[in-house]
Chains A and B, each alone.
Chain A
Amino acid sequence: MYPFNYHKPETVADAVALFNDADDAMYLSGGMTLIPTMKQRLAAPTDLIDLSGIAEMTGIDVAADKVTVGAFTRHNDVATSGAIGETLPVLAQLAGLIGDNQVRNRGTIGGSLANSDPAADYPAAVIGLGATVHTQERAIAGDEFFQDLFETALQPGEIVTRIEFPVPTRAAYRKFPNPASRYAVVGVLIADFNGAIRVGVTGAGPCAFRASGLEEVLNQNLDPEALEGVEVPDAGFNSDLHASAEYRAHLVKVMARRALNDLLS
């Protein structure tokens, strides 16, 4: 790992100021991606700004129609939150499928979203639930947040502070894990908001996206059988050692059907 200056601010404002003062700063949240990347000498920030000391970025707030999760909330805190489990169980379940226990004890929702790994789980929730991503400056609609491979709507220095998830009538998430890394080869979250269906897909493309074709069909007929005839085009899908684009497209359909079965049961 290359040397860097380490900072641990206590407010978002201080963090941003530190970021702006440094040559090439990076924010450090849970570090589950950034630290291995730095170990492999593939990232070399001059300054590392640790967000763990910022109280305003922590905490879970559960209302009847909305669950708000501080960006520094660790995956296991979401997975084991009784309040989230009761109001938005799909989010707790999804968080419990990320990485492994040790990773869930460190990794944070804000870090995961800001990184926009194409195979991360949380983006499926942001898209599928139509969440709003808050930063120190603005609120970004979930649909606008993920832009490309490891690219988000965040501007340099912008920090994800909290995420608001609307509470659907019901929802379900299915994941086909990469057998080696346990990231999602494909993950599909289906949410039913009083009959309006949203489908968030992760793993398949360069970044998480709404499967509008599936939504269209399911909005007409919320039935697993309705998915049978649907074509999931694989244009632009990821293709690697573990899964071709064609196979990923097939998995989107299978995971969607299984999620729908869960949702309906």
Chain B
Amino acid sequence: MKITLQVNGEPREVDVAENTLLVDVLRVNLGLTGTHVGCDTSQCGACTVHLDGRAVKACTVLAPQADGANVLTIEGIGTPDELHPMQAAFRECHALQCGFCTPGMIMQAIDLVENGDQLDNAAIREGLEGNLCRCTGYHNIVRAIQSVADAG
């Protein structure tokens, strides 16, 4: 079936089977491989993107459910020359090591800062409950998000 969606501000149309996942539309059909798949039970959050402005796990959204939607992925928030503040903070605070969870972590972190008020250490940690990182122990991820939250 044909699906039309806005991806990172660009209108895109793909022709996919009904049982295609949004994450595969992004990775396979559109070549946006920054969104990763780290599990098959919707736990790890590596596939987190924004769907109509909300953080969701793209491995648990069917392509037809995203028909007509606005999708924002890690590729759409900044470039190496013009980083999103969250991307810059992750680099500054050494909030990533292998980088595999990072795109999902950043997309959730942006949602958290945009929608959360009074983000202290505990609130940030709680806000990351849908994202697993095996490298950093989260310490520097929390610092990075805190720095963005504090900067307003």
Measured between beta carbons, the chain A residues less than 8 angstroms from B62 are: 6, 28, 31, 35, 48
Measured between beta carbons, the chain A residues less than 8 angstroms from B48 are: 102
A3 within 8 A of B: yes
Beta-carbon contact of B56 and A102 below 8 Å: yes
CB distance from B36 to the nearest CB of A (A): 14
CB distance from B93 to the nearest CB of A (A): 21
CB distance from B84 to the nearest CB of A (A): 19
Q: Among the listed stretches B4-12, B39-47, B142-150, which one makes contact with chain A, having 4 or more residues with CB under 8 Å of it?
A: B39-47
A106 within 8 A of B: yes
Known contacts A36-B40, A101-B130, A182-B129: A8-B45 contact under CB 8 Å: no
Interface size class of A (residues with CB under 8 A): 20 to 34
Which residue of B has the minimal Cβ distance to A181?
B43
B1 within 8 A of A: yes
B136 within 8 A of A: no
Which B19-74 residues have C-beta < 8 A from chain A?
19, 21, 40-43, 45, 48, 51, 54-57, 59-62, 64-65
CB distance from B35 to the nearest CB of A (A): 13
Beta-carbon contact of A103 and B1 below 8 Å: no
Known contacts A31-B62, A76-B54, A106-B60: A101-B18 contact under CB 8 Å: no
- Name the one of B1, B43, B59, B129 contacting A101, with C-beta atoms under 8 angstroms: B129
Measured between beta carbons, the chain B residues less than 8 angstroms from A38 are: 19
Known contacts A36-B41, A48-B18, A102-B45: A8-B130 contact under CB 8 Å: no
Measured between beta carbons, the chain A residues less than 8 angstroms from B40 are: 36, 39-40
Which residue of A has the minimal Cβ distance to B49?
A102
Measured between beta carbons, the chain B residues less than 8 angstroms from A105 are: 51, 54-56
A155 within 8 A of B: no
B112 within 8 A of A: yes
Beta-carbon contact of A101 and B111 below 8 Å: yes
Beta-carbon contact of B129 and A32 below 8 Å: no
Beta-carbon contact of B64 and A6 below 8 Å: yes
Known contacts A35-B62, A39-B40, A101-B130: A106-B19 contact under CB 8 Å: no
The 10 closest A-B pairs by CB, nearest first: A100-B130, A6-B18, A105-B54, A1-B19, A100-B129, A102-B130, A102-B57, A6-B64, A35-B60, A102-B55
Interface residues of B (CB under 8 A from A): 1, 17-19, 21, 40-43, 45, 48, 51, 54-57, 59-62, 64-65, 108, 111-112, 115, 127, 129-131
Q: A8-B64, A35-B62, A101-B112 are in contact. List 16 more A-B contacts (CB 8 A).
A: A3-B18, A6-B18, A28-B62, A28-B65, A32-B60, A35-B21, A35-B61, A36-B40, A50-B64, A100-B130, A101-B55, A101-B130, A102-B45, A102-B130, A105-B51, A105-B55
- Of the A-B pairs whose beta carbons lie under 8 Å apart in the complex, a sample of 10, sorted by A's number, is A1-B19, A1-B21, A6-B18, A35-B60, A36-B40, A36-B41, A100-B45, A101-B111, A101-B112, A106-B57
Interface residues of A (CB under 8 A from B): 1-6, 8, 28, 31-32, 35-36, 38-40, 48, 50, 52, 76, 80, 99-103, 105-106, 181-182
